[in-house]
Structure 1
Amino acid sequence: VCQPLFQNPTGAMLSAERRREVLTIAREAGAFVVEDDFARRLVHEDAGPLPATLAADDPDGVVVHVCSLTKATSPSLRVGALAARGPVLERLRAIQVVDSFFVPRPLQETALELVGAPSWSRHLRHVAAELHTRREALATAVRRELPELELRHVPPGGYHLWLRLPQGADEAAFASAALRAGVAVAPGRPYFSAEPPAPHVRLSFASVAGTGELAEGVRRLRIACGEVLAGG
């Protein structure tokens, strides 16, 4: 399972060389790559041209591509899409029919009306501009107010920043202190399949009222830093 574009939680993108390597390894192993393209519609306005999907570079049916309208529209619009080639497509189609039978028609009609409307492109441009504004506000506030937290990469897409805590810091304690201060952050450990090399936290800038709320959130995280990281 791979998120080649604005990976959650780091925001990283696979390089062209790495993309070819992933497809080659999967093809030689007789395996599939499930491409989770969740963030393509969450690109920021300063991102520049996006790379094509992995599926676009795969003539052999190795890639199963999945995406959704949910992130760029509403949590209630649970409509996704799956694209595949060859025998795997027929197998997945049969499983889908047995498992969920069909997407409810009202949701289908809503999705079709939405993406077919002239305002759809305008909506995506607005999302791109707003995400860029919020990303810059949060990154600036973190660097100014929370120098203990290392921000190595500012992604031009997605809705979160990935921060490294000082070595030896207790990320669970930090998350608990942040929650007591009124801010919910995601500890980094669950994002690793093995033992993490360092403590991390993920900060999201999507579900807020605006940049003022982000600034207040960082101010409250300053309290959590003082509580948990004061001793190093």
Structure 2
Amino acid sequence: MKTGTKTNIVVDWIKEQIKLGKWTPGEKIPSQRVLADDFSVNRSTVIAALEQLKADGIIKAEMGKGTIVANDTWSLLASLPRIKETPPVLPADSGIIDLSKGELAEDVFPDGYLNDVIGRLSGNINSLGYEERTGYEPLREAVAGYMTRQGTPVSPSSILIVSGAMQGLQLIASGLLEHGSSIFLEEPSYLYSIQTFQSRGMSLAGIAMDKEGLLTADLETKWHSKKPGALYTIPCFHNPTGVLMSETRRKEVLSFCAAHRLPIIEDDIYRELWLDSPPPPSIKSMDVYGNVLYIGSLSKTLSPGLRIGWIAGAEPVIERLSEIKMQADYGTSSLSQRVAAEWLGEGLYEQHFKYVRKELLKRRNHAASSLQRHLSNLADWHIPNGGFFIWLRLKQDISIKELYAEAANEGILFHPGSIYTGGASRSIRLSYGFAGPAQFDEGIKRMKKLIIALSK
């Protein structure tokens, strides 16, 4: 075990004692020698851990008392990890091979693609005041036109502009879903959506998947034993598995949910990232009862920094969600909404994707070749038809936590499967959308060595 890992273990244990109330503010903590003996580590490791805790404001040295607990409220809460084992955000030139990031690299996009659109707006903006509660009207009209062209007819009045898909989920969870209800979702599922629902006091019921998406039979079984709240699904190029739900399965899911009055949240932010052929029609497009709330976003396909997403649903629901959003932030950025309207309203978005898909396809194919070359005897995986995630399952029964730590020390980042399942997993999520082909290949080569070493 690396020194850094040992230090983190000591840090986390001390935080846990304070969190549980075993050590209270003003209480002296055990000496460096005692801690070193308890953890069977060098005193230098303990000193490094204590220095980190002092920097976080959790402990402090006090004359005549030694090292004491300084705070057990905001400083402790701010320092606690929200998602275990999630890689840190690092600058692009850090030398890290990032196979974890769920976004497209800048060099996937055409040169100057964003400046051209922003340039069109120059001189045409007279003010940037608050927009309507549901969002900038030309943008809602553009989104409605775009969705209609994609086969999901909606009206502008049925759309709420939000600051990214995550805000959409948060609004739905806080404004529409009942505390203590069950959220049915694919297992594994997107880690941030898991946290959103759990933070609202909802329980999660994982639904098994196959190559066509979530299994309706398992949904029916779980539905009978839970207090239903809603079904949350990512049918297009699912995160983290990359699975594309078939049209037949979409119809099955919609039929079951309509019959049992189970609302559906369709997270469709990866739809435009298809590489081999367009995906099936959205679940929303088949919904005649207003049972589906649809979430779309430009964050994965155009620019995360724009923070533009939308919810499409029945008008009374959109009105309710817009009231909650106004209480939260008083509206999404006016400038971002205008940029997005320019993209979607002129059909530039669809044109833009002809280039992006071509570049992303090269990365997907290169990733497939790299995995086959280096890991064919060590893991199993499925190459997706779109998106940028590959869900890889190791054949060896090794600790993914140790592999993660060793890989991070080697400058390679990936997502352990456990953060998507909430428990032990022999799977990892790799992204080919951010790291370049040469970087991806180098990262997989190094990971192969680590897997072999941990298998011995």
TM-score normalised over the length of structure 1: 0.89
The question of 1:200 aligning with 2:427 is answered yes
Q: Name the CA shift for 1:86/1:77 in 2 (closer, same or farther; >3 Å).
A: closer
Q: Name the CA shift for 1:86/1:108 in 2 (closer, same or farther; >3 Å).
A: closer
12-21 or 28-37, which moves further after superposition? Answer: 12-21
Separation in 1, partners of 2:280, 2:355: 21
Q: Pick from 323, 339, 354: which aligns with 1:94?
A: 323
Partner of 1:29 in structure 2? 260
Q: Secondary structure at the residue paired with 2:304?
A: coil
Separation in 2, partners of 1:96, 1:38: 20
Partner of 1:134 in structure 2? 363
Describe the superposition over 1:163-195 as per-residue Cα deviations: whole angstroms up to 9, x where unpaired: 0012522111111122122110100012125x4
- One-letter amino acid of the structure 2 residue matched with residue 225 of structure 1: I
Alignment of 1:113-152 (within 5 A): 113-117=342-346, 119-152=348-381
Partner of 1:59 in structure 2? 288
Q: Pick from 393, 406, 410: which aligns with 1:177?
A: 406
Q: Secondary structure at the residue paired with 1:34?
A: strand
Alignment of 1:68-79 (within 5 A): 68-79=297-308
The question of 1:212 aligning with 2:438 is answered yes
Partner of 2:234 in structure 1? 3
Once the two structures are TM-superposed, the CA of residue 56 in structure 1 deviates from its matched residue by: 0.3
Partner of 2:248 in structure 1? 17
Q: Name the CA shift for 1:119/1:38 in 2 (closer, same or farther; >3 Å).
A: closer
Describe the superposition over 1:113-158 as per-residue Cα deviations: whole angstroms up to 9, x where unpaired: 2334564333211111111111111111111112244333111111
Separation in 2, partners of 1:117, 1:132: 25
Structure showing greater radius of gyration is 2
- One-letter amino acid of the structure 1 residue matched with residue 363 of structure 2: R
Q: Name the CA shift for 1:143/1:78 in 2 (closer, same or farther; >3 Å).
A: same
Q: Pick from 49, 54, 76: which aligns with 2:278?
A: 49
The question of 1:165 aligning with 2:391 is answered no
Describe the superposition over 1:184-225 as per-residue Cα deviations: whole angstroms up to 9, x where unpaired: 0100012125x45x51001111222x2112122212212322
> Cα RMSD over matched residues?
1.9
CA contact (8 A) 2:244 2:385 kept: no
CA contact (8 A) 1:67 1:81 kept: yes
Partner of 1:222 in structure 2? 448
Once the two structures are TM-superposed, the CA of residue 10 in structure 1 deviates from its matched residue by: 0.9
Partner of 2:208 in structure 1? none
Q: Pick from 309, 322, 346: which aligns with 1:80?
A: 309
Separation in 2, partners of 1:23, 1:100: 33
Once the two structures are TM-superposed, the CA of residue 94 in structure 1 deviates from its matched residue by: 2.5
169-178 or 76-85, which moves further after superposition? Answer: 169-178
Separation in 1, partners of 2:454, 2:303: 35
Segments of structure 1 that go 5 or more residues without pairing to the other structure are none
Q: Name the CA shift for 1:169/1:183 in 2 (closer, same or farther; >3 Å).
A: same
Separation in 2, partners of 1:49, 1:79: 23
CA contact (8 A) 1:181 1:223 kept: no
Q: Name the CA shift for 1:167/1:215 in 2 (closer, same or farther; >3 Å).
A: closer
Q: Name the CA shift for 1:146/1:159 in 2 (closer, same or farther; >3 Å).
A: same
**Matched length:** 225
Q: Secondary structure at the residue paired with 1:89?
A: helix
Describe the superposition over 1:69-97 as per-residue Cα deviations: whole angstroms up to 9, x where unpaired: 01112221110011002543332232223
- One-letter amino acid of the structure 1 residue matched with residue 290 of structure 2: G
CA contact (8 A) 2:235 2:245 kept: yes
